[in-house]
Amino acid sequence: MDSAIYKQAADFIKDRLSGRVPVAGIVLGSGLGKVAERIEDPLIIPYREIPGFPLSTAVGHKGNFIIGTISGRTVVAMQGRFHYYEGYPMDLVTLPIRVMSLLGCSYLFVSNAAGTCNPDYHTGDLSIIKDHICLFPNPLIGPNRDEFGPRFPDMTCAYDLELQEKAMQIAAQMNVSLHKGVYLGSTGPTYETPAEVRFYRAIGADLLGMSTVPEVIVGRHCGMRVFGMSVITNECNFENLERNFNDGDDVVKQADKAADTMTELFYRLISQL
């Protein structure tokens, strides 16, 4: 993708911000759009109006940038993200993150609906993402975009430790328990076979999903501090004992239940930036 596209998209949005500079970008995953309802004085910009943006098609996803304030801090939220399984090239999947960076965001908050392969985690639980395993093609493959970051970005602390600590404190105040899990991102769109679930568990994954990792890699490349959270929507099948249907509607329904808690947690965390 031509680098000019990033600047064109960012300039288009900047023109409508009257000089406000967002501190955080927020990616709202499946059914987790409620965070958007907490954004004050929202300015809604449909992706289709932004130069270079594709349309989002997945179940439960809208396609808007929502810009406004949370406790006086200007934020940009993505209502609906672009998934690799939809056929978008990685440059488009991660385009909004680079645009957020160009707008001035120094923090990136990501959320998703995930399955779990950890028998101690259950449907409806929330988990901080403490690390990830990338089974996608790396979104930084290709000539390095030096204007955003280095050729070989470090990933030892992809998920900001201070934000994790703050989130744990907020959760304790809210009387909510949080897991701290490793998110394995794979392309989808198929859900995992039982053998894959056993494999992913064996290599250290707790959370399984089809998003987030490309955005986090690009966010880190841009130098953003990242916080990630998963709502667990299903427990993955380790054996072929039963047919374990995962369909898009179920995932959205489960995500909705935990969304209120996650919304409050994100709200309080952003209020402390």
CB of 210 to ligand HPA, least distance (A): 5
**Cβ at position 240, least distance to ligand HPA in Å:** 15
Q: How far is the CB of 251 from ligand HPA (least distance, A)?
A: 5
Cβ proximity to ligand HPA, 10 vs 114, nearer residue: 114
Nearer to ligand HPA, 191 or 266 (CB): 191
**Rounded CA gap, 104 and 20, in Å?**
10
Contacting residues for 243 by C-beta, under 8 A, at least 6 apart: none
For the CB of residue 194, give the shortest distance to ligand HPA in the complex, in Å: 12
Nearer to ligand HPA, 64 or 230 (CB): 230
How near is the Cβ of 37 to ligand HPA at its closest, in Å? Answer: 22
d(CA 202, CA 112): 22
Residue number closest to ligand HPA, CB atom: 115
Residue 113, both tokens: 């609906």
d(CA 25, CA 22): 7
CB 256 to ligand HPA: min, Å:
13
Residues in CB range of 220: below 8 A, 6 or more apart: 149, 153, 154, 155, 158, 226
- The sign of the CA dihedral 163, 165, 170, 174 is positive
Residues forming the site for ligand HPA (CB under 6 A): 113-115, 191-192, 208-210, 233-234, 236, 246, 251
In angstroms, the CA 18 to CA 125 distance is 40
Give the nearer residue to ligand HPA in terms of CB position, either 144 or 244.
244
CB closer to ligand HPA, 12 vs 199? 199
CA dihedral for 111, 114, 117, 123, sign (positive or negative)? positive
End-to-end C-alpha distance for the chain, whole angstroms = 33
Nearer residue to ligand HPA within complex by CB, 47 or 191 = 191
